Amino acid sequence: MKLSCLPVSLFQAIAVERTMPLTDYLRLAKSVGLDGTECSLGFIHPLGPHQPAEFRAMVQDAGLETSMLTCHPDFTHPDPDVRKAQVADMTRNLDTALAIGAPLIRVLTGQRHPGVSDDVGTGYAIDALASLSSEADARGLTLALENHTKSFFWQYFDFAQRGVVFTRIIAGLRGTSVRVNFDSANPLVAGEEALELFEEVKDRLAILHVADTPTQGEFRFCRIGEGIAPIAELFRRARLQGFDGWVSVEEASRSGMDAFGVAVANVRRLWTAAGPPA
């Protein structure tokens, strides 16, 4: 297992206000024992301040790797021109992933736009993701579809926030190379059970996102290891499945810089306690 991080708690400072240099976060990441980092689109051009080659150099200089380019496409928009533009934008993001040295690209289905039914939106998402997977295959990259809640950049919650919709889309992508970025807390935010959903998609696992929440049914996150997400059991089941890839701390507690070190220590302890892979 290699441990990465998506520093959600720092997005405002790094990507919006730009009061925290990215190099400060990378030094923090190395100091708390991370092996790598995710790259948010908010860190790099055109949304962020750094060119892809510059980002790659900064990560390497910090002694880290880039685990994943974390994107937020909106394939369920009711306007066909917007959906077409989203596919084109994500195709460019594949080239960005190559430029920063990321083997994985986090993808989403899109937002739950008013008036877009489950049937229609599911079709939109499957069509877009299947098309994009062919482009990823040609570049030697892997799309990882997350069971997601809400993007930092979005107005609405995720179209596939409910497990029944997420699993339907995953089933519709059988035969493609699209895999799963499984998040430990997002099912709980949706008022559902994380382990039940994991069992439905575990054979498609590409990366684990480790987040935690103090309550079920509320869009709120806490320090990892201090909430109700079944992280220990999730790790046990993932290891039984033979998974030994990237595990990414999604630190979204907004409770101080020391939360990163706490998260890394808790994740490594729980992973070790989960036992060796089958």
What pLDDT, in 10s, does the model give residues 87-123? Answer: 999 999 999 999 999 999 999 999 999 999 999 999 9
Instruction: Examine the pLDDT at 278 and tell me if it is beyond 60.
Output: no
Question: Is 262 inside a domain boundary?
Answer: no
| Whole-angstrom distance, CA of residue 28 vs CA of residue 258 | 10
Beta carbons of 23 and 58 less than 8 angstroms apart: yes
Give residue 10's pLDDT. 96
In a domain, 239, yes or no: no
Mean pLDDT of the chain: 97
pLDDT band at 249 (very low <50, low <70, confident <90, very high): very high
* Radius of gyration over every alpha carbon of the chain, rounded to an integer in angstroms: 17
Q: How far is Cα 42 from Cα 10, in angstroms, rounded to an integer? A: 11
31-43: average pLDDT: 97
Round to whole Å and give the CA distance between 72 and 70.
7
Predicted confidence band of residue 62 (pLDDT cuts 50, 70, 90): very high
The structure tokens listed for 36 are 């790598």
* Cα–Cα separations (whole angstroms), residue 79 to 74, 91, 113, 152: 11, 19, 10, 22
* Structural domain harbouring 13: 9-206
Mean pLDDT value across residues 254-261: 97
Mean pLDDT of 182-194: 98
Identify whether 268 is part of a domain: no
Handedness of CA 247, 250, 256, 262 (dihedral sign): negative
- Residue 152: pLDDT band by 50, 70, 90 thresholds? confident
Q: Is 179 inside a domain boundary? A: yes
Tokens of 75: 């394939």
pLDDT given at position 273: 95
Q: Which CATH number does the domain housing residue 13 bear?
A: 3.20.20.150
Domain count, the chain: 1
Domain assignment of residue 111, yes or no? yes
* pTM score, whole prediction: 0.96
Phi, psi dihedrals of residue 5, rounded to the nearest 5° = -155, 140
Average pLDDT of the residues in 5-30: 96
Confidence at 276, pLDDT banded by 50, 70, 90: confident
**Does residue 186 lie in a domain region?**
yes
Is 246 within the bounds of a domain? Answer: no
Q: Determine, yes or no, domain membership for 217.
A: no
> In this structure, what DSSP letter does residue 76 have?
T
